[in-house]
Structure 1
Amino acid sequence: MFFLKKEKESAFHHELRKTRESFFYKIKNLFLRKSKIEKNVIDHIEDLLLSADIGTKTTIKIINNLEKRIQKEKYRTTQDLYDFLKKEIENLFIDIKNESLEKKIKYHKKPYVIMIVGVNGVGKTTTIGKLSFFLKKKGFNLIIGASDTFREAAVDQLEIWANKAQVSLIKQHMHADPASVAYDTLQSAKSRKKDVVLIDTAGRLQNRIGLMEELAKISRVMKKIIPESPHEIMLVLDASTGQNAFEQVKKFTHFVKISSIVLTKIEGTAKGGVVIGIMDQFKIPIQYLGTGEKIQDLKEFDGKKFINSFFENNES
């Protein structure tokens, strides 16, 4: 059958191993037991989609379309069902514009200012270090602003990553005004003709009003130096939190316009389906995947390759 064919390993093969074991092989085993479509097969697929943390709304959409397609096109076998399921998930990605960050930086007036947001513990500081290293390898000259002055040791941790990436860091003392740090960073970026500015921010989402006011103040102050900044607001999420990641997107999009998402810790979770649900429900492009602890462990997201890996089989 189709899933016994050896396929070439994709770029996401290793990173999606746990998700694939949880989702693909369960789908495979379900279809191995059935040669014709039965009513309860759809119910089993629904359960498997939910178990992959694709989310209730997106799962219902996929299942409804699956049932309509079966009725309309008279699908007969599980091969047909499998092919449609993959196609239906691919369709969720079609209308989401996902221009590469490299391209946006290249064709925009410099410096290009990116504000990084996300709750504590999702890997925000690590992501800034990885992103700095990634963009520097692409030939861009960067500077980082340590505007998370609230969390103890946040500046020290960011400085370690900045040194690893060999990127300049602007910092002040703990509990300094975050907007002041951002102001100094943009001034330095302009005078030193930097291509990209990364601004770290606090992640204490439990104090939503305070955080909203702080992010708004940082934006206002940066506009005094570069009126159109920030050009991008990038949200960092932890894939292993599953449905909690959905809630974080909802909360942040209430008070800032999220441009793109970085999903971290994808390699260590069976909840990789959260990618599908987030893109479907919020229409926000996922720009990068954090795939490990090393500074080079950041990959550009490709929806088609992701889906292929989500469904691929690597048995001989």
Structure 2
Amino acid sequence: MFSFFKRKPKEEPAPTPQSVAAPASESIIPVTETVSATPFTAEVATQPAPASAPTADTVPAPAEQKRSWLSRLKAGLAKTSSNLTTLFVGARIDDDLYDELEAALLTSDAGVEATLFLLDALKKKVKEEKLTEAEQVKTALKALLLELLTPLQKPLELGRHQPMVMMISGVNGAGKTTTIGKLAKHMQVHGQSVLLAAGDTFRAAAREQLTIWGERNDITVISQESGDPAAVAFDAVASARAKGTDVVMVDTAGRLPTQLHLMEELKKIKRVIAKGMDGAPQEILLIIDGNTGQNALAQVKAFDDALQLTGLVITKLDGTAKGGVLAAIAKNRPVPVYFIGIGEQIEDLQPFNAQEFVDALFN
């Protein structure tokens, strides 16, 4: 598997007390651990064998895997790409072309601000560089979009904290729980021990789904049938500190940003995690369905205002005509995009690379 994370030297873990007291100001309900026992045999040997050592006969070579990913990425963004690139076929450089390009960008959900920014910069570039061919204008637009998206590209750093606590949020249907399972698997491949916290205590299906991912990856899952989601998160952090686990991933209940009482619950979970470990959660991720277009930007704004997001994962980009939403995010709320997903398989979730993304849009 090609490089997925940025590594940092691990800090020495803080001394862990024999017991962790629940904070008096928050309601904490004891929970129990559900330890999985069924190994997942796809890519990594079952623990305690090193999870980072897949064999050559079961894992494609890096170059082959890279070509496969780029091919799937291009296929996934084909609808968005078609709306943009067909405009330049035999086109004249005039106001009609700019009008059609504006419509195409808006249709791809690039948003008004990003669309106007790109068009203004493009017109200036065409004038200054005296571009006369449609293909030259297409190349210029590609360069401008790359410049806009590059600040979103950032690796998820492993090994800076022990444990690294990740709080995962998102609306129902965004692919949150599935994404947690994929990330957990990739982290194992990179030698990280993982613990999952089933903080969506309101939906039995969510707990069951996370438990299945735990069983597949031979990962401990902290869960309870009902009660306070913050209690699950607190207990998971305490368990990880006691056992020296590398990464804790806390699933949270899906909710709309307009559900203010539920957003307050997310803030509570964040506070309780911080009481369980100073500086945690170090990563607060929002999972976004790439097909929701401008609604995705609204979600980023609302969750960022409430939680101060550190990163995004954009899923379901396969077959979407709304791939321009990354431009809208870059222009309006440039939270780093750690990963993008284009399918159901584990290898269909990969780190966001601005150059690869733009190349796929203009293939």
Fold shared by both chains (TM-score > 0.5): yes
Partner SS state of residue 314, structure 2: strand
Residues 236-255 of structure 1: matches in 2 within 5 Å? 236-255=287-306
CA distance in 1, matches of 2:313, 2:234: 25
Cα distance in 2, alignment partners of residues 23 and 229 from structure 1: 38
What corresponds to 2:269 in structure 1? 218
Give the superposed CA RMSD.
1.9
Q: How many residues align?
A: 298
Q: Residue 169 of structure 2 aligns with which residue? A: 117
Preserved contact between residue 11 and residue 305 of structure 1 (Cα < 8 Å): no
Q: Which runs of 5+ in 1 are unaligned?
A: 1-7
Which residue matches 1:140? 192
Residue 301 of structure 1, CA deviation: 1.0
What corresponds to 2:328 in structure 1? 277
Seen in structure 2, the aligned counterparts of structure 1 residues 178 and 63 have a Cα distance that, compared at 3 Å, is same
Unaligned stretches of 5+ residues in structure 2 = 1-65
1:162 counterpart residue number: 214
Deviations 1:8-35, CA, capped at 9 Å, x for gaps: 9673332342533x3434444332222x
Match of residue 179, structure 2, among 127, 137, 146 = 127
- Map 1:1-316 to 2 at 5 A: 11-20=69-78, 22-34=79-91, 36-96=92-152, 98-101=153-156, 104-106=157-159, 108-174=160-226, 176-205=227-256, 208-312=259-363
Q: Secondary structure at the match of 2:167?
A: strand
Aligned partners of 2:165, 2:223: CA distance in 1, in Å?
17
Q: Distance in 1 between matches of 2:349 and 2:360?
A: 17
SS at match of 1:304: helix
Q: Which letter does structure 2 place at the counterpart of 1:202? A: A
Over 3 Å counting, the alpha-carbon distance change for 1:63 and 1:306 in structure 2 is same
* Counterpart residue type for residue 204 of structure 1: R
Shift in alpha-carbon separation, 1:18–1:290, aligned structure 2, 3 A: closer
2:171 is paired with a residue of what secondary structure? coil
Which range is displaced more, 211-220 or 61-70?
A: 211-220
Counterpart position of 2:35:
none
Structure 1 letter corresponding to 2:297:
F
CA distance 1:240–1:88, change in 2 (3 Å): same
Provide the identity percentage.
Answer: 38
Counterpart CA distance in 2 for 1:248 and 1:203 is 12
Q: Which amino acid aligns with 2:176?
A: K
Between the aligned partners of 1:27 and 1:224, the Cα distance in structure 2 is 49
Cα separation, 2, equivalents of 1:282 and 1:206: 16
Distance 1:219 1:28 in 2: 44
Classify the secondary structure of the residue corresponding to 2:142.
helix
CA contact 2:80–2:320 (8 Å) conserved in 1: no
Q: Which 10-residue stretch deviates more, 152-161 or 10-19? A: 10-19
Q: Is 289-298 or 57-66 further displaced after alignment?
A: 289-298
1:117·1:235 contact (CA, 8 Å) conserved in 2? yes
Asked whether the 8 Å contact 1:19–1:273 carries over to 2, the reply is no
Q: Which moved more, 1:67-76 or 1:235-244?
A: 67-76
Higher normalized helix content (fraction of residues) = 1
In 2 relative to 1, CA 294–11 (structure 1 residues): closer, same or farther, beyond 3 Å? closer
